[in-house]
């Protein structure tokens, strides 16, 4: 199993209850596909670099997960079908990115 960063941008106009529903759905999807959630950074509403569906802000969620196989197909593809999910990015975590060069 490899470690990945799963970054999501949700609709910024969601209420707190709707955000919690989306988080629960994301976590159920992750666990249903055999992924383990290591960490969740809930950054809230942030300004985007460019407009997405005419919104200048987005609700950011950043997960650190352990998953086997291809999480782009098994995890990200079903999440892209949600109406409130604007963007998804899955990046494989590599240990050499965390080392400091002399």
Q: How would residue 87 be classed by pLDDT, with cut points 50, 70 and 90?
A: very high
Domains of the chain are 2-94 (3.30.70.60)
For position 85, what pLDDT does the model report? 94
Q: Over 70: is that where the pLDDT of 51 sits? A: yes
Ordered DSSP codes for 23-82? HHHHHHHHHHTT-EEEEEEEEEEEEEEEEETTEEEEEEEEEEEEE-S-HIIIIIHHHHTS
**Six-digit token pair at 87?**
């963007």
- pLDDT digit string (tens) for 55-79? 999 999 999 999 988 888 899 999 9
């Amino acid at each position: 199993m490899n470690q990945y960063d799963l970054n999501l941008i949700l609709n910024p106009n969601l209420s707190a209850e709707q955000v919690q529903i989306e988080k629960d759905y994301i976590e159920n999807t992750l666990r249903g596909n055999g992924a383990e959630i290591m960490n969740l950074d809930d950054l809230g509403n942030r300004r985007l670099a460019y407009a997405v569906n005419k919104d200048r802000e987005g609700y950011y969620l950043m997960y650190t997960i352990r998953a086997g196989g291809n999480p782009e197909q098994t995890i990200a593809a079903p999440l892209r079908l949600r109406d409130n999910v604007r963007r998804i990015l899955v990046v494989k975590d590599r240990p050499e990115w965390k080392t400091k060069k002399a």
